[in-house]
Amino acid sequence: MFAWELSFREHNTQHDLLQVIAIVIAAGFLVSGTLRYFGLENSTGFAGGEVYWNSFAHGAAYSLFVMLFTLRVDWAWLILFFDVFVGTFGAAFHYAI
What is the domain range of residue 52?
3-96
Residues in the chain: 97
Rounded-to-integer distance, Cα 58 and Cα 27, Å: 10
At 32-65, the pLDDT tens digits run: 888 888 888 777 776 776 666 678 888 999 999 9
**Position 79 pLDDT exceeds 70:** yes
Banded model confidence at residue 22, pLDDT cuts 50, 70, 90: very high
Give the number of domains in the chain: 1
If one compares 51 and 12, the residue with the highest pLDDT of the two is 12
Helices (H), 1-97: 3-6, 13-37, 55-70, 77-96
pLDDT for residue 55: 80
For 16, 67, 78, 88, the CA distances from 85, given in Å and listed in that order, are 25, 20, 10, 5
Does the pTM of the predicted model rise above 0.95? no
Rounded-to-integer distance, Cα 41 and Cα 38, Å: 8
pLDDT for residue 44: 74
